[in-house]
């Protein structure tokens, strides 16, 4: 029995040693796993920090992109506005300015015509007045058969004045007065 008891003792010691070695092995493995877990945690933490930095950088890039878009839109608007202004100025100078110049020329011509007309009317009145004064001094009908006595009488009866009749018929005021006196109307 000694052998069996000894064997049993040695078997129990062997099992205990194997069990202790197994525990030591498991402890060492656990230490390695713990180190690995810490390294993984540290790596994950670094990755999380990097992800946060990247997200922050993406937001900054998006903000810069929005700012750039706004700036580009403003620049495009300003460029289009400037181009439209230049186009309008160009059209103004090529199409409207000649019309304006022509209108100003016509206005000047119109004013000249009005002034000339006034000058002509003034001149005509002066000539008529001079003819009347001349005819008052000397009464000689220019052509005695040319005076339409009936028309003079008719116009006087219609309410025309002596001056108006003389002017209309282009005869002297004295001739009109003579004809009216001869017809006993004046």
What token pair was written down for 53? 């930095």
Q: Which portions of the chain are predicted below pLDDT 70?
A: 1-2, 117, 120, 132, 134-146, 186
CA separation for the pair 174, 138 (Å, rounded): 9
Note the pTM of the prediction, 2 decimals. 0.35
Nearest residue to 156 via CA among 174, 180, 172: 180
For 21-32, b where at least 16 C-beta lie within 10 A, e where not — what string?
eeeeeeeeeeee
10 Å Cβ neighbour count for 124? 11
Q: What is the pLDDT of residue 139?
A: 47
- Output the pLDDT for position 166: 92
Which pLDDT score, from 0 to 100, does residue 123 have? 72
Question: What φ, ψ does residue 143 adopt, rounded to 5°?
Answer: -155, 105
pLDDT value at residue 79: 87
Query: Tell me, what's the pLDDT at 136?
Result: 59
């Amino acid at each position: 029995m000694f052998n069996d008891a000894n064997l049993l003792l040695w078997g129990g010691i062997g099992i205990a040693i194997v069990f202790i070695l197994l525990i030591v092995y498991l402890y060492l493995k656990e230490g390695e796993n713990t180190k690995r877990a810490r390294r993984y945690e540290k790596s994950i933490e670094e990755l999380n920090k990097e992800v946060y930095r990247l997200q922050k950088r993406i937001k900054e890039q998006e903000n810069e992109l929005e700012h750039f878009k706004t700036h580009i839109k403003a620049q495009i608007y300003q460029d289009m506005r400037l181009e439209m202004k230049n186009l309008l100025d160009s059209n103004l100078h090529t199409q409207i300015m000649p019309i304006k110049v022509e209108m100003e020329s016509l206005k000047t011509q119109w004013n000249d015509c009005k002034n000339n007309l006034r000058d002509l009317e003034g001149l005509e009145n002066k000539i008529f007045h001079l003819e009347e004064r001349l005819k008052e001094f000397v009464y000689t009908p220019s052509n005695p058969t040319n005076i339409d006595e009936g028309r003079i009488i008719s116009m006087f009866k219609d309410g025309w004045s002596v001056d108006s009749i003389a002017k209309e018929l282009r005869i002297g005021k004295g001739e009109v007065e003579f004809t009216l006196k001869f017809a006993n109307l004046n």
